Structure 1
Amino acid sequence: MEKRNDIPYGPQGDPAAFSRDGRFDGSDFSTDASYDAHLVPSDTLDGLDAPYYPDACAPDAQASGGAPDAQAYARARYGAAVKGAKRKRAAKRSPLWTAVSVLAALVLVVCLGILAVIGYGYWHGTKVYDDIAQQAFPEKQLDALAASTIDWDALLAQNPDTVGWIYMPGTSIDYPIVQGETDEEYLKKDFAGNTGGLVHKGAIFLSSGNDSSMADQNNVIYGHNMNDDTMFAHILQMADQQAFDAARTFYVFTPTRNYRCTTYALDVVDATQTSLLQFSFADQSALNAYMTSRVEESVPTAPLDIDLNGVSKLFTLITCGDDYASTRAVLFGAVVESAVPENAPAA
């Protein structure tokens, strides 16, 4: 830069006056070095209402013929320095850092893939049972119990282990019932025989200890407590008083008999408690005592509003509790009506 002694540094060309204004110390910017040395950091520029240095001292003053925006210029210099520092840091990243970044990306991709597989498993499992219900039991004729008919031929053609159907109005419980050789067979295998994937809805199944015709006094039916509120998930929800009161009726259909049941108790018990699994009773008094004890132990308040002496048959529905491994939710239902279905096979 050419030395120019005639440059007016402050008001009326008085350097001291400009210094008194608090924005310039009166130094002589005769060289580029002296000019750069007197630049003030950009963070002190905010709020100033006048040029920060004389017009002619700006690097582009002679070319532009006017004063530049001082704040923009200083920030541009600062921004260039920051970008340069970032480039240097990026160049110094170690191979370990790169490996960690790649590994994190791979973990994210794997997790997203697993979530997608799980989501598909829930969707597919639900669709299997929706399709079966649409085919075998599309219309519910509940006013006349005998008129409720199931397409047993279609169900048996898909799965010879079919023994019944269970339906609870106002809930997602609307499924075929199967019976395996053991109580483990249908824990992972669904009605259609699917066992693969990360999600296992299994099937609703009658205890292997019961008669397949459900002729026992107490018929025990199992189902999973699924996170998407399907299968027997609603049973655990009935530990809540409002949910229990809203679903006091469920139906069990078989090829030879249809049953309407009233729920009278729900208990959450230890998974090892087997005393509830009584399939038969010595007499009516023993059956009545069993029902009374269940009412007394019920989690929701369940007044025994049915005639004990008029009950001769029970259905007990079991699913996992909140602690899937160690607790079970058990819903107790008493048969209050039965009828021979219109499509029952001839005797």
Structure 2
Amino acid sequence: MPVPNSPKNLFDQQSVSDFSRDRYGHAAHASKRAAHASGQTAHASRGGEAPRPDSGAYRASAPYHAGAPRNPGTGAHRGAAPAAYRNAAPAAHWGVGGNVQPFDMGNAAAKKRKNGPWTVVLVIAVLVLVLCLAVLGMIGYGYWHGSKVYTTIAEQAFPEKEADALSAMTVDWDALLAQNPDTVAWIYMPGTSIDYPVVQGDSDEEYLKKDFTGDSGGIVHKGTIFLATDNAGDFSDENNVLYGHNMNDDTMFAHLLQMTDQATFDAARTFYVLTPTQNYRCSTFALDVVDSTQTDLLQYTFSGKAALQQYMDERKSDSVVSVPNDVDSEQVSKLFTLITCGDDYAATRAVLFGAVVESATPTNAS
């Protein structure tokens, strides 16, 4: 259907043909025609005669028709800018074509001031976390190292714990004395972690931090099980007092505090104290939890048999656990008292009392 020759469709067949020539290589002719049309248009704007509708100038400025090829301007070659035409800079898009968003110094400074305190807090928090992890690592290593030291000593000095007779329970005293001349005994409680050498220092504070090898460094101090300095080193006293720490890993004398539970107490009623000259089998008869300032328990010798029996009866009456009446105080001549810290460490002490019910000379006695 032919395109109607109406004001909305001003392209005739000739103009379409001309436009096609312009698109397919007749650039020079189109440029001249555009220049001529521009001249006529300029003349009209100065008061001259307006171009005729069928003229080239009018066709060059005619509006675009959907059925015709797109008019590339005023008839000039595509890409050629009209006279007096100033190229407009394209809109800048940040990050495209090398454009960089301008830096707002005012906003950056405000953000820096706003985030500054939080940055400091974050740095401090990270440093505190690293420090805490380092301390925890050192504590963990201290517990592991302390346990390793005593496990190694036990494997070397007292490897055979099962014996048919009390006298057959032997300890390598030469090895222990060579490592620590303060060695006086070995204590062993079956079914618990208590399996350690016993020393006696120049004071009751000497072995609070120092282990059997003499090492007192690090954060964790397991110390060494020690005999009170007020006791005779040959265990000739009626009551021999041994001290040990209540460690969080259930080592040293930590089990004493656990024995406040009746079932735990009943499960471990026997412990052994072995010395170079005599072995002792002890049976527990009382467990007290006392104030750390209570010193009347620390009685090492007695005026006679009756005084020792009275002391034992008092301990039984104060016991925090029930004990069967299977230890005859009239038949007892020697006691061992084991002491450790309570859960609150400084305030209380757990005190376990054991009576010697059997003694024998070890087969390797010196």
What's the TM-score once normalised by structure 1's chain length? 0.73
Q: How does 1:175-254 map to 2 (within 5 A)?
A: 175-254=196-275
Cα displacement (A) at 1:297: 0.3
1:312 partner letter: S
Q: How many Å separate the matches in 2 of 1:158 and 1:344?
A: 19
Cα displacement (A) at 1:99: 1.1
Cα displacement (A) at 1:271: 0.6
Q: How many residues align?
A: 259
2:213 partner letter: A
Cα displacement (A) at 1:303: 2.5
Structure 1, unmatched stretches of 5+, are 1-86
1:114 partner letter: V
Q: How does 1:1-347 map to 2 (within 5 A)?
A: 93-345=114-366
Structure 2, unmatched stretches of 5+, are 1-106
- Higher mean C-alpha deviation, range 106-115 or range 305-314: 305-314
1:269–1:329 CA contact under 8 A, matched in 2: yes
Could you list the per-position Cα deviations for residues 155-202 of structure 1 after superposition, in whole angstroms to 9, with x for gaps in the alignment?
A: 000000000000000000000000001100000000010101110000
- Higher mean C-alpha deviation, range 288-297 or range 95-104: 95-104
Could you list the per-position Cα deviations for residues 217-272 of structure 1 after superposition, in whole angstroms to 9, with x for gaps in the alignment?
A: 10000000000000000001101101100010000000000000000000000111
Q: How many Å separate the matches in 1 of 2:164 and 2:283?
A: 15
Cα displacement (A) at 1:323: 1.4
Q: How many Å separate the matches in 1 of 2:114 and 2:132?
A: 27
Could you list the per-position Cα deviations for residues 128-158 of structure 1 after superposition, in whole angstroms to 9, with x for gaps in the alignment?
A: 0000000100111343000010000000000
Cα displacement (A) at 1:96: 1.5
Q: How many Å separate the matches in 2 of 1:195 and 1:334?
A: 33
Q: How many Å separate the matches in 1 of 2:284 and 2:164?
A: 19
2:233 partner letter: S
Q: How many Å separate the matches in 2 of 1:324 and 1:98?
A: 40
SS at match of 2:301: coil
Q: How many Å separate the matches in 1 of 2:236 and 2:174?
A: 21
SS at match of 2:286: strand
2:273 partner letter: V
Sequence identity percentage: 68
Question: What residue in structure 2 maps to residue 38 of structure 1?
Answer: none
Could you list the per-position Cα deviations for residues 23-55 of structure 1 after superposition, in whole angstroms to 9, with x for gaps in the alignment?
A: xxxxxxxxxxxxxxxxxxxxxxxxxxxxxxxxx
1:300 partner letter: V
Question: What residue in structure 2 maps to residue 13 of structure 1?
Answer: none
1:188–1:200 CA contact under 8 A, matched in 2: yes
1:313–1:334 CA contact under 8 A, matched in 2: yes
1:295–1:303 CA contact under 8 A, matched in 2: no
Q: How many Å separate the matches in 2 of 1:146 and 1:315?
A: 19
* Rg comparison, structure with higher value: 2
Distance 1:272 1:91, change over 3 A: closer
1:318–1:330 CA contact under 8 A, matched in 2: yes
1:117–1:198 CA contact under 8 A, matched in 2: yes
Could you list the per-position Cα deviations for residues 64-84 of structure 1 after superposition, in whole angstroms to 9, with x for gaps in the alignment?
A: xxxxxxxxxxxxxxxxxxxxx
